Amino acid sequence: MEHFLAASTEVVSLETAILVVICASLIVLAKMVSDLRREVRALREAQAAAPAPQPAPLSAAQPSPASAAPADGIPRDVFAAIVSAIHFTLGGEHNVVAIGPVESMMWSREGRRSIFGSHSIR
């Protein structure tokens, strides 16, 4: 019994402690990967069992006055692309009120501010 007690009071080397931590981390990682694979398998089975969604029928609603006629100087295909991007980004029913060039110089001012802000003061 004295020999067992003497061995238990020895200091664990740094290499042994690191090895124990690495092994424990690998065990936890293997468990997480196993759980993730189980979840993916369950989701795939649920998708396979679910019926394919049917596309919604197009409504015959009249387009809004703003979307019926693009602004002056904007080609119809560019106007359609902008309206499509708004619909895709925001979703749902949104009306385009106006599309036109920006009259202010805010973008150029912001660019200049960004450039001058990056310079170091001497």
pLDDT digits (tens, 9 = 90+) for 41-75: 999 898 888 777 676 665 544 455 444 456 567 78
Q: Which residues, in sequence order, are CB contacts of 73 under 8 Å at separation 6+?
A: 101
Structure tokens at 60: 């015959």
Between 51 and 27, residue with greater pLDDT: 27
Between 116 and 28, residue with greater pLDDT: 28
Q: Distances in Å between the alpha carbon of 55 and those of 58, 59, 102?
A: 9, 12, 37
Cα dihedral 74, 77, 82, 85 in deg (nearest 10): -170
Would you give the DSSP letter of residue 46? Answer: H
Structure tokens at 104: 């202010």
Whether this model's pTM surpasses 0.95: no
